[in-house]
Structure 1
Amino acid sequence: MNSVLEQQRSVHEEIERLEQAIVDQYMSQPKTQKERLENEHIVSKYLDRITEKSKQLYDLYDDKDGARKKEIDALATTSDSFGEFYERLRVIKDHHRKYPNEMAEPAELEFIYEQKQRHEDGTEEEALETLFSGEEGFGRFLDLNPLYTQYVNLKHIKRVDYLSYLSTFDDFKDTYPKETKVTADYRNYLTALRSYLESFFTRAKPLYNVENLRKETEDQFEQDWKARTVPGWEKKLGEEEEAQPQLFCVACQKQFSKQTVFDSHLTGKKHIKAQKQLMEQKGPMVDQAEIEKARQKALEEKEDKDKPIAWLEVLISKYVEVLSDHRNDTRANVERKQALTDRERALEQEQDELEIMENDSDDEDEDKIYNPLKLPLGWDGKPIPYWLYKLHGLGVEYPCEICGDFVYMGRKAFDKHFQEWRHAHGMRALGIPNTRHFHEITQIDDAYALWDKLKKKGRADDFKADTLEEFEDAEGNVFNKKTYEDLKRQGIL
């Protein structure tokens, strides 16, 4: 099918089917963390496919080659009203004649079949296990042990234990001194930390819009950087040195903060070589305005060099803010494990494995429930034995016209219903007292005939509601009306 309109219709249908598949996926209530992750990863695949199809649909509506407009114009012509129609009909017939057994499978079935196959093969559980380390607990906790190793190897930082590191690793203003921030190891550390957090979002929160969070954070960062309000970078590098222009080295294009350091720099071989080159180019006299211009340029280059570091710090802080619950759970889990002995840790690991096996066996038992005879379910949620079903006669139907043609399954339920509200209401609607004379009477005509017979014999005249009309208390005891009202007034019932 080369029709642009048919392609658009097909893409619209596929998008709607994928949206319905997402709704169906959310209708299943996950019981464990693993099931929740499985659902979210499946929905994430559906959303990726919807995004892909939406881009395709946008290109079709954009109609850069004019094929859609040409096709619509051909349909709108009045000179040959049925020519285009029969031409399209011929194309459709040729297509189905060429592919007579072609089956149309909705897009969501591709994921459903894949998910079912992975579940049967056991590769689905293995895939989830490979996504997370043992410390992460299927996305419940953060595993910052490799990053902690990088942290303790940084220069000029205060060494802390892992538990304290979990509380302070995102405090870039006070935890990391400026001497550390200018090193290459610190930048590598920030890059690794950002990569891990983004990876954790992808694995543990696949439906979270990380791109939107990053864009909002970047816009706010640009404003704060221009306003000099970025935490830890409130003053751009060089503002303190602007009051001391005499400590700026023109030859090396470098600003110093202390006189002693500046004097030591003047005796260095690197400075002497740079000074010699400057003398050869511009002579012994250098304009003061040119010196200030070079100084400002050096400060701006320094600021541009520090801006990526500040951006990584702000972005990581934002990620950690969103993952605050995971960070708190991680601290609690680490603190709990530190209080356990080796034996207790081994027992805990065995218990976790046992729970996983029990959950798997429960799932298998639920999948194996087979009830082709539609037997009633017992207290354990499974069908009762067939012999018990036959013993109680639960397969025998007892309809009652007085109850509105309600059908009772089994003799026990049928005998009991004569004293229940449904049958009593039906008898009251007929104007007939619900007494023992009408037990086993289920047809309206039979009830009227018996009532007329009782009246002809004179029994109806002797009928007294106080003695013949029956009432039942909460425990199932039956009394006549007079006795029932007397006991109720005395507070016994």
Structure 2
Amino acid sequence: MDSVLEEQRLSHELIERLEEACVQEFLSDPKTHRDRLKLEQSVDGYLTRLNKQSSRLAELYQDESRTNEIETISKPSLNLDAFYQQLTAINGHHDKYPNQQIDAPEFEFLHFAADDDQHDEVDDADEKFEHMFSGEEHYGRYLDLNALHGEYVNLKNVNRVEYIPYLDRLDKFESDQVYPAALKTTEAYRQYLDHLHDYLVSFLQRARPLVDLQSINDTANDDFEKTYKPSTSSATHTTNGHATNAPAAALYCQACQKDFAKQTVYDAHLKGKKHIKAQTKLDQEGADDRVDKRKALALKEALILAYLDVLKDTRQQTKANVERKQALTDRERTLEQEQNDIEIAEDSDNDSDEERIYNPLKLPLGWDGKPIPYWLYKLHGLGVEYPCEICGNYVYMGRKAFDKHFQEARHVYGMRCLGLTNSRQFHEITKIADAYALNEKLKKQNVSSQVKDDNVEEYEDEEGNVFNKKIYEDLKRQGLL
């Protein structure tokens, strides 16, 4: 026979022990970032159980059988027959199950008295923790937005930027240069927002388990309802990648979300079955439905902004980490990967908030995770910008990155789009007009744009120095490499 009062007593006991377990966890002194993250996830599990147990306890207090049980116990002239009936039922249960093990609540929180089964559970929890984060996230230190960056650059009419600029502009939802207005009506953009929202929620739950997501959502919803104003203007139109505030042009089909270059092609498109079907679907959707979709989209953007505000420091550290990795040589990357595989314990001084790295000049980080000296920053010219029009006006920081990019895929692709061969003669040429002018000059002088294989093939030594084939073989024969 189940007793409501006994269940209430057990619930109170379990709640008190969960609170005590949280206190004991916080009294421990984690030395590394991984240990602190494990502590927070353990406390989050205790708090989740505590909330569920509290809700169950509140339901028990509203149970009518609890009042009847109290009245039965409080009667001074209680008939002992009911008592002996319960005693007989309890004895019969233990006679039927004589070796049933009793799981006392206090045993669950005694870490020092753990048996083999509990050790297996701890091992399973550690293994789950190891697979909780990707290698790029580094146990919740950095964001891994590479997949979302690839999804962003594949959106229609967006400026395709590299990963680091994307980290700076991914939350610029109000900018037409980052997210054109015509793009926001497409299904691909909605899916991109859903994926970005889901990843940020997942990262917060894994890397910041003690952050109150519900409170963040409620605050963002309240602020959104106060500031949101439905747009009554017509949809903006995007032409050649630049958003304009003017109404949609005559050669833009709102139903199919498509631009047309010629009037004849546009007129023929209006008679197609695909357009008629899309236009019918658009007409069937009422104005209220479109407003609701725009509002839901704006709310999703507001939630993403709220999450990114919480992850502001993590986002900056992610950018610094990517810049640091790009400055490393292949050998340094290999050594760093080996150190990560060995899992060397990190000093608590590097992780403490009191000794956070002071970097007001936003200098790149070195191999030790600290900002490089300012004189080294000036020596390598990392503060000098080198734009390249052939690469889509991409800006390279520092002379080394600028010189190296002429043989990279982005520049080669830009030259191929211009119909030019990426030969040595076009080195240092960054303007499209200059590239065409040089090409015409080479044609007039009958200068071949092809060079010898010895100069085309490049070799790299162990220190990262690049030579052509002839010089590399000469140095190797002389034993200088």
TM-score, with structure 1 as normaliser: 0.56
Query: Hey, what does 2:171 align to over in structure 1?
Result: 170
The answer to whether the 8 Å contact 2:32/2:345 transfers is no
Query: Hey, what does 2:148 align to over in structure 1?
Result: 147
Paired letter, 1:136 = E
Matching of residue 199 in structure 1 with residue 202 in structure 2: yes
The answer to whether the 8 Å contact 1:187/1:309 transfers is yes
Whole-angstrom CA distance in 1 between matches of 2:235 and 2:195: 31
Paired letter, 1:74 = T
Flag the 1:23–1:100 CA change in 2: closer, same or farther, 3 A.
farther
Query: Hey, what does 2:13 align to over in structure 1?
Result: 13
Give the superposition deviation at 1:194: 0.6
Whole-angstrom CA distance in 2 between matches of 1:36 and 1:323: 17
Flag the 1:67–1:306 CA change in 2: closer, same or farther, 3 A.
same
The structure 1 residue matched to 2:68, chosen from 56, 67, 70, is 70
The answer to whether the 8 Å contact 2:8/2:57 transfers is yes
The structure 2 residue matched to 1:320, chosen from 308, 327, 339, is 308
Partner-residue secondary structure (3-state), 2:344: helix
The structure 1 residue matched to 2:188, chosen from 138, 162, 185, is 185
Query: Hey, what does 1:28 align to over in structure 2?
Result: 28
Matching of residue 135 in structure 1 with residue 140 in structure 2: no
Whole-angstrom CA distance in 2 between matches of 1:118 and 1:349: 29
Whole-angstrom CA distance in 1 between matches of 2:199 and 2:120: 31
Give the superposition deviation at 1:149: 0.2
Give the superposition deviation at 1:337: 0.6
Flag the 1:357–1:299 CA change in 2: closer, same or farther, 3 A.
closer
Comparing 169-178 with 201-210, which one deviates more in the overlay? 201-210
Flag the 1:31–1:59 CA change in 2: closer, same or farther, 3 A.
same
Matching of residue 59 in structure 1 with residue 59 in structure 2: yes
Query: Hey, what does 2:40 align to over in structure 1?
Result: 40
| CA displacement, residues 93-113 of structure 1 (integer Å, 9 cap, x when unaligned) | 555566565554344644755
Query: Hey, what does 2:331 align to over in structure 1?
Result: 343
Query: Hey, what does 2:472 align to over in structure 1?
Result: none
Partner-residue secondary structure (3-state), 2:103: coil
Give the superposition deviation at 1:23: 1.4
Identity %, equivalent residues: 43
The answer to whether the 8 Å contact 1:118/1:124 transfers is yes
Partner-residue secondary structure (3-state), 1:131: coil
Paired letter, 1:36 = R
The structure 1 residue matched to 2:293, chosen from 279, 282, 305, is 305
Query: Hey, what does 1:218 align to over in structure 2?
Result: 221
Flag the 1:83–1:77 CA change in 2: closer, same or farther, 3 A.
farther
Flag the 1:307–1:265 CA change in 2: closer, same or farther, 3 A.
farther
Whole-angstrom CA distance in 2 between matches of 1:36 and 1:90: 51
Task: Give ranges in structure 1 of 5+ residues lacking alignment.
Answer: 229-234, 255-259, 279-294, 360-493
Paired letter, 1:179 = A
Whole-angstrom CA distance in 2 between matches of 1:357 and 1:343: 22
Larger radius of gyration: 1
The answer to whether the 8 Å contact 1:132/1:138 transfers is yes
Matching of residue 3 in structure 1 with residue 3 in structure 2: yes
Partner-residue secondary structure (3-state), 2:141: coil
Partner-residue secondary structure (3-state), 2:22: helix
Task: Give ranges in structure 2 of 5+ residues lacking alignment.
Answer: 237-245, 257-261, 348-481
| CA displacement, residues 360-382 of structure 1 (integer Å, 9 cap, x when unaligned) | xxxxxxxxxxxxxxxxxxxxxxx
Query: Hey, what does 1:404 align to over in structure 2?
Result: none
Give the structure, 1 or 2, with the largest relative contact order (CA under 8 Å, sep 6 or more): 2
Whole-angstrom CA distance in 1 between matches of 2:41 and 2:106: 14
Give the superposition deviation at 1:205: 1.3
Whole-angstrom CA distance in 2 between matches of 1:329 and 1:83: 71
Whole-angstrom CA distance in 1 between matches of 2:145 and 2:343: 26
Give the superposition deviation at 1:204: 0.9
| CA displacement, residues 407-428 of structure 1 (integer Å, 9 cap, x when unaligned) | xxxxxxxxxxxxxxxxxxxxxx
Give the superposition deviation at 1:354: 3.8
Flag the 1:131–1:156 CA change in 2: closer, same or farther, 3 A.
same
Flag the 1:32–1:106 CA change in 2: closer, same or farther, 3 A.
farther
Flag the 1:115–1:143 CA change in 2: closer, same or farther, 3 A.
farther
RMSD over equivalenced CA pairs, Å: 4.1
Paired letter, 1:69 = T
Alignment of 1:245-394 (within 5 A): 268-269=270-271, 299-356=287-344
Paired letter, 1:67 = S
Query: Hey, what does 1:486 align to over in structure 2?
Result: none
Partner-residue secondary structure (3-state), 1:105: coil
The answer to whether the 8 Å contact 1:238/1:299 transfers is no
